Structure 1
Amino acid sequence: MVMMTQSRLLCLYSVLIFLGFTWFISTFEYFCNNDELLEVRERQIDTYKQQVTDKNREIENIQTKMQEYEEKIQRLSHLLQIKTCKPVAGDNDPTLPTLYLITPTYSRLEQKADLTRLSHTLLHVRNLHWIVVEDSEVKTRLVTNFLANCGIHNTHLNTLTPKQVKLKAGDPQWLKPRGVLQRNAGLTWIRTALNPSKNKGVVYFADDDNTYSLELFEEMRQTQKVSVWPVGIVGGLRFESPMVQNGSVIGWHTFWKPERTFALDMAGFAVNLAIIFSHSNAVFSNNVPRGYLENSLLLQLGVKLKDLEPRAENCNKVLVWHTRTEKTKTKNEKITPSDINIEV
């Protein structure tokens, strides 16, 4: 019975194959003999191809527009972030020591530009407290408004430098120490506002017109006593630097009085907060010889040469530059005066 069924199925398959083959041959002959129909089919195929090409072109145009829109969205998003995002300076990490930066500043046409440039660097530094001290009888509106909107945790102070110790117009920059009382005001605030048993960190004196690498702030953060490093474009040299041998400071690469115990620039060292607390009378002085401002403070803090911690790859890398903003010439204001109500 099974054998019979299989034979019938084979016969049926054979018949179907034969019929299929016959249909194929007849259809093939029909198309081969019907040139007109073939032409119609070819035209239809060409039309379809053209439609596909047109659609591909439309897709490419849409993709181009989408890319343009994405770029516009990115630009707008970036502008929005600048105005609304929280800076990393506000995202404190409790495991990191706080950096206390003392910045003296004084009123001048370039002041806001310098503070803006510095603040844009500090915005990228975590656990930072910016102490800005104006050389002024009162806190100015310009600095007050600037600090209120800079996005950095800050303290705003002011103290006026007496005329007898101020540089006069035309005096060379090195003739008298600058920012002395302002740095001292910052130190006083630290000693009175902070708690030695709770607050841990590092103190650094950051002038408002210097240029700082972000790497510098991470180098100084682990200061145990006093960290030191090179400073670029200073003292009539490409850089000034501690001279290091076997991980210890043994001298100074500087032109001016290398025999000083600490022959370094204000931007070239940072002090652990504990040392500032433990030597409460240590301050800067206006009554020191040229180039001895930093030296005087470190001696008062009880620092020895062996206490210095060379940073920045054993003082082989410059991470801060003693740049100075050129004094602006405004002689044309007499001819074409600007609107004094616009803040610069």
Structure 2
Amino acid sequence: MENIFVEVKSTLIVVTPTQTGPFQAYYLNRLAGTLRLVPPPLLWVVVEMNAQSPETADVLRKTGVMYRHVVCDKNLTDVKDRRIHRRNAALSHIAAHRLDGIVYFADAENIYSVDLFEDMRKIRRFGAWVVGKVSERRNRAMLEGPVCNGTQIVGWHIDRSKRWARARRFHVGMSGFAFNSTILWDPKRWHRPTLEPIRQLDNLKEGFQVTAFVEQIVEDESQMEGLPPGCSRVMVWEIRQGNSHSSLYPKSWLMKNNLDNIGRLS
């Protein structure tokens, strides 16, 4: 009898914090278009503050991507980056339900190569890669992430324009790494020294939230893998758009009144 081997692929758990705004549907649909091209299994965890908005729910239902619509119900006042708490809500959801796979934080505004998601499935503990960043004025581009010899991380690209950058332990952004979800809910397997939950901290100086998060997952570069081998490709681009959530827009995109100025057809 012929033996048949079936490859079991790791589930990709893609976490996206979001909020209603004038460009939300555009960004979510663009990211969904990329995720649809990724072979399954893939679970998209989309997180909002306070409640599931009808606008977000409507977009998600039409994407064709398997998703969970999670709510962060933490009462927040005077918080600089609410995405931190949305991501933490996703981490709590993953740990509570013991979801097994590779966790990746994918902000909807970024641009992703489909190849990135397939490379993530090779991660054993923690993987990192190079991210391209374009400034808001589109006049400057830089690289952030690891320098690799094969899959071994031997150094980091550093943003020398920021004085505090050199003080970071790991020079990586939220879109530049992914990790095994079992680290969140099976600490004994990974010989973690503490049973404290792994979460992002909101009381740190700007630029240090990500490295502090990574330090909870790995001790040093020997526990990391560089992707792809040689870290030779940029598979994520962060293009800053300014505050795209601040503009006013009609709720559910419905106008209460018709337009005042209407021209007759001649």
- Give your verdict on TM over 0.5: yes
Q: Using the alignment, how far apart are the partners of 2:230 and 2:209 within structure 1? A: 24
Q: Partner residue of 1:171?
A: none
| CA deviations over 1:21-41 (Å, ceiling 9, x no partner) | xxxxxxxxxxxxxxxxxxxxx
- State the shift of 1:149 in Å: 1.9
Q: Partner residue of 2:90?
A: 186
More strand by share: 2
Task: Please give the secondary structure, in 1, of the residue aligned with 2:215.
Answer: helix
- State the shift of 1:329 in Å: 9.8
C-alpha contact (below 8 Å) 1:231/1:320 kept by paired residues: yes
- State the shift of 1:177 in Å: 3.6
Matched, 1:277 2:185: yes
1:305 pairs, out of 221, 225, 228, with 221
Q: Using the alignment, how far apart are the partners of 1:328 and 1:288 within structure 2? A: 24
Q: Partner residue of 1:225?
A: 125
- State the shift of 1:251 in Å: 2.3
Letter in 2 for 1:114: Y
Q: Against the structure 1 CA distance between its residues 178 and 312, is the aligned structure 2 distance closer, same or farther, given a 3 Å change threshold?
A: farther
Q: Against the structure 1 CA distance between its residues 218 and 311, is the aligned structure 2 distance closer, same or farther, given a 3 Å change threshold?
A: same
- State the shift of 1:264 in Å: 0.5
Unaligned runs of 5+ in 1: 1-92, 166-175
Q: Using the alignment, how far apart are the partners of 1:217 and 1:148 within structure 2? A: 22
Matched, 1:106 2:10: no
Matched, 1:288 2:204: yes
Greater gyration radius: 1
Q: Using the alignment, how far apart are the partners of 2:88 and 2:53 within structure 1? A: 19
Task: Please give the secondary structure, in 2, of the residue aligned with 1:122.
Answer: helix
- State the shift of 1:134 in Å: 0.8
CA RMSD of aligned residues (A): 2.6
| CA deviations over 1:146-178 (Å, ceiling 9, x no partner) | 11221111100122561311xxxxxxxxxx444
Percent identical: 30
| CA deviations over 1:50-104 (Å, ceiling 9, x no partner) | xxxxxxxxxxxxxxxxxxxxxxxxxxxxxxxxxxxxxxxxxxx971000001100
Q: Partner residue of 1:115?
A: 28
Task: Please give the secondary structure, in 2, of the residue aligned with 1:300.
Answer: coil
| CA deviations over 1:285-337 (Å, ceiling 9, x no partner) | 11111111111111122442211101023212100011234649979x9xxxx
Q: Partner residue of 2:63?
A: 150
Letter in 2 for 1:202: I
Matched, 1:253 2:157: yes
Q: How many residues align?
A: 230
2:231 pairs, out of 315, 339, 343, with 315
Matched, 1:210 2:110: yes
| CA deviations over 1:230-266 (Å, ceiling 9, x no partner) | 0012576422121224642232112141342111111
TM-score, normalised via structure 2 length: 0.78
Runs of 4+ deviating beyond 6 Å: 328-331
Q: Using the alignment, how far apart are the partners of 1:234 and 1:223 within structure 2? A: 27
Q: Against the structure 1 CA distance between its residues 178 and 245, is the aligned structure 2 distance closer, same or farther, given a 3 Å change threshold?
A: farther
C-alpha contact (below 8 Å) 1:261/1:305 kept by paired residues: no
1:141 pairs, out of 28, 35, 54, with 54
Q: Using the alignment, how far apart are the partners of 1:314 and 1:210 within structure 2? A: 23
What pairs with 1:74-85 in structure 2 (closer than 5 Å)? none
Q: Against the structure 1 CA distance between its residues 312 and 163, is the aligned structure 2 distance closer, same or farther, given a 3 Å change threshold?
A: same
More helix by share: 1
Letter in 1 for 2:175: A
- State the shift of 1:124 in Å: 1.0
Q: Which moved more, 1:115-124 or 1:243-252?
A: 243-252
2:42 pairs, out of 117, 120, 128, with 128
Unaligned runs of 5+ in 2: 1-5, 188-195, 257-266
TM-score, normalised via structure 1 length: 0.61
Q: Against the structure 1 CA distance between its residues 224 and 141, is the aligned structure 2 distance closer, same or farther, given a 3 Å change threshold?
A: same
Task: Please give the secondary structure, in 2, of the residue aligned with 1:100.
Answer: strand
Q: Using the alignment, how far apart are the partners of 1:107 and 1:259 within structure 2? A: 35
